[in-house]
Structure 1
Amino acid sequence: MSETTLDVRDVPPADRHSEIHDAFAALDSGEELVIVNDHEPKPLFYEMQAEVEGFDADGYAVEQRAADEYVARFPKL
């Protein structure tokens, strides 16, 4: 599976979701967007699940690597 990584820790919080949505929209089917964030992106997961066609919620995974580093995988159907 091809993946695109987007580190949003330095992106202003007000701009994060739009940048993530744009990056996800640019993916082809079968690809995955990997987000590096400073907190668990649970609100983003729920937003994607409710609003984004093509988001594979069953394939979502998140891993905490440090106190301020969460890596979340958002696969596209």
Structure 2
Amino acid sequence: MPDKFDPYRESLIVEEKTIWSEELADFPVEEREKIARCLHADAASCNHLEYVRLHTGFCRQITVTQEDVARLEAKP
């Protein structure tokens, strides 16, 4: 179950992880890197965001959805 954006946990992020759904498996590596950077830079607008507790803080885990990609492609 996705988490809501949490500014407190965001301040404790020590790791970022991006998961690609099966429907987006054919995206080129260069595009994946660009999309992942954009999503992590604006985590509050992601459709599927999770905070995973680590010993030293949190890992922000974003599962990329088709909606996220469409939103990023619509930006100028």
TM-score (norm 1): 0.31
**Larger proportion of helix:** 2
TM-score (norm 2): 0.31
Greater relative CO (CA pairs within 8 A, separation 6+)? 2
**Larger proportion of strand:** 1
